[in-house]
Amino acid sequence: MARRAQRTNPPKDVTDHRFLQFPQTLSDATRARYSTNLSLLLTKEIDIAPSFDWELATRTGLAALIQEFLQYTHSDASGVELFVCQGWARLFRIQEPVYREFLLEFYATVSYDPRKSLNDRTAFVFRLGGVSRECSVIELATRVGIYTADETRSVHFPTFLADCLTERPEDYNENTFWVEITGGIYTPSTARGGMIRSTTYRMLHRLISMSLTHHKNSERVPSTDLSSSSSFQFFSNS
């Protein structure tokens, strides 16, 4: 993992930026909510997620080892291929500039209504660049580069999304899974990613934990991270 430069000591006058001066045209309740969220965010460090050196991984052969795990083929009951998802591979290749002011503005103002459909353009509401914006779940996924517009227009795309794992499977047991991938007993205080026996699985663990849960300074594997690692089961079954 290659760490990009990050600003750990933001300027004290960051709230003077015009994007963080929420306009008077907003309702009092909305402005109060945005300001409260911003005040909380300013007490936290905004860390730039580490990027993955795909060129090095390709030269060493590791990219080829994990590539098949980063692709999911959605098939019907008879096994006919309907849709091939490249979302994981694209997600782990995102390496874009990060601007603190934009992050603060977005996270202070964003709201999401899970009751709305994936195509509902009012599902996500937020401000960015001083402008109020809204988009659907699918639009957000295409804008950040996880899916392409052509993929989202596929007749099989809605079914693919509906069948995706969105929470930990009921039959998942972290202790059993840890035995399977390490051969040892899972003890949260001593669990380390380096204990995973498979080089491929160790790489996948690094991609998931560093890119999504962002455990930046530790190789420890807490139970919450292990539940993310249940994606290994999902990958290996696909």
DSSP conformation letters of 129-190: TTEEEEE-HHHHHHHTTSS-HHHHTSTTHHHHHHHS--S--TT--HHHHHHHHHSS---TTT
CB 137 within 8 A of CB 123: yes
Find the distance separating the first CA and the last CA of the chain, reported in whole Å.
Answer: 26
Once rounded to an integer, what is the mean pLDDT over residues 71-78?
87
DSSP, collapsed to helix, strand or coil, labels residue 10 as: coil
d(Cα 155, Cα 176) in Å, to the nearest integer?
38
Residue that wins the pLDDT comparison between 21 and 57: 21
Tokens of 185: 């007993």
Average pLDDT of every residue of the chain: 81
pLDDT grade for 219, boundaries at 50, 70 and 90: low
Tokens of 34: 């945005």
Total Cβ atoms within 10 A of residue 171: 7
The pLDDT of residue 12: 55
% residues pLDDT > 90 (the chain):
31
What is the model's pLDDT at position 27? 95
Element at 83 (helix H, strand E)? strand 81-85
Q: Is the pLDDT confidence value at 144 over 50? A: yes
Q: Assign 3-state DSSP to the chain and report helix, strand, coil percentages, each to 5.
A: 45, 10, 45
List, in sequence order, every residue forming a beta bridge with 192; answer none if it has no partner. 220
Q: How far apart are CA 238 and CA 55, in angstroms?
A: 26
CA 218 to chain centre: 19
pLDDT tens per residue, range 169-214? 888 888 998 999 999 999 988 888 889 998 888 888 877 777 665 5
pLDDT at 92: 84
Q: Is the model more confident about 23 or about 4?
A: 23
Q: At what angle do helices 28-41 and 100-109 cross, to 10 degrees?
A: 130
CA dist 101 and 132 (Å) reads 15
pTM score, whole prediction: 0.69
Cβ–Cβ contacts within 10 Å for residue 85, how many?
A: 20
50 pLDDT more than 70: no
Q: Which two tokens stand for residue 198?
A: 């498979």
Question: What tokens were used for 38?
Answer: 């911003």
Identify residue 59 by its one-letter amino acid code.
R
